[in-house]
Copies of this chain bind each other. A is one copy, B any other.
Amino acid sequence: MTSLNKITDFRRPVAINLANRTAASACDDCGARRHGLCDALSDDEVGFLFRAAQRQTLPAGTVFIEEGEPAAYFYNVNSGNVRLFKSLPDGRRQITGFAGPGHFLGLAATEKNVFSAETMEPVRLCRFSRAAMLSMFAEYPILERKLLDVAMHELVISQQQMLLLGRKTAIERIASFLLSWAERQDVCASGALPKPHSSLTLPLSRTDLADYLGLTIETVSRSLSNLKREGLIEIPNIHEVVLLRPQALSDIAEAAV
């Protein structure tokens, strides 16, 4: 995102709100304080956000954004992971992405939600009404810039995913996923390969994985077993994968010739 930031990092002077120590310190403890939208704001500014937000704690498996329903709110995830997905009437599901701490939800929103969101684990989040977002944008133009950055990054990701879904084989999809998940977990720098024997935590079920990669759970399972048999990965338990040979994985993922 470096060069995008070049576009949006020349900060304008912004109105400084009255300090709100209570809010600032409440946000200090938040997992999202140094990520996403909130990271763009000073302690004083974030207090404004704090007062505009309704904080919610949701149990695992809660669908809090439903495709087709009126889009009334924006959300900022504080802790826990969320899956975003679209469904067909017959039950087929495509997970379009995952949102963790610091992720902002509601970007791809029109009058009606165009996707659904469901918590994968207990999740804490800040909820903003449309009206609250409007006033925040008016007050802090930097938020808009930040949002543009986020949206552009999402676009890059979804183009990669289109290539994966449209043109990659099952094994290539799995290899691509493992490497991108390593990046997401900060196991390696963006664009770089993780070190051999890096360990990943997968909070996803096989069903999630299948619906994200456009496969069935059986094919996901078989492909992972293949990679294990070939000695490229290890699977100590269902929610953990060790990347033994990242370079080999990358060769598969990128269809190196």
Contacts and interface: CB of A to CB of B under 8 A. Distances in A.
Interface of A: 1-4, 6-8, 10, 71, 86, 88-90, 92-94, 96, 107-111, 114-115, 130, 133-134, 137-138, 141, 144-145, 147-148, 151-152, 154-156, 158-163, 165-168, 211, 213-214, 254-257
Given A96-B162, A144-B148, A156 B7 contact: no
Contacts of A159: 86, 96, 108, 114-115, 158
A10 B134 contact: yes
Given A88-B254, A141-B141, A165-B166, 14 more contacts: A3-B110, A6-B130, A10-B138, A88-B167, A89-B257, A90-B255, A92-B168, A94-B166, A108-B155, A108-B159, A114-B160, A151-B155, A155-B158, A165-B214
A175 to B, nearest CB: 13
A86 B141 contact: no
A2 B89 contact: no
B155 A86 contact: no
Contacts of A160: 86, 114
Given A109-B3, A111-B2, A134-B7, A94 B162 contact: yes
Contacts of A2: 110-111
A89 B255 contact: yes
Contacts of A211: 166
Contact of A107 (B3, B155, B214): B155
Given A88-B254, A94-B167, A165-B166, A156 B110 contact: yes
Given A110-B4, A133-B7, A151-B152, A162 B161 contact: yes
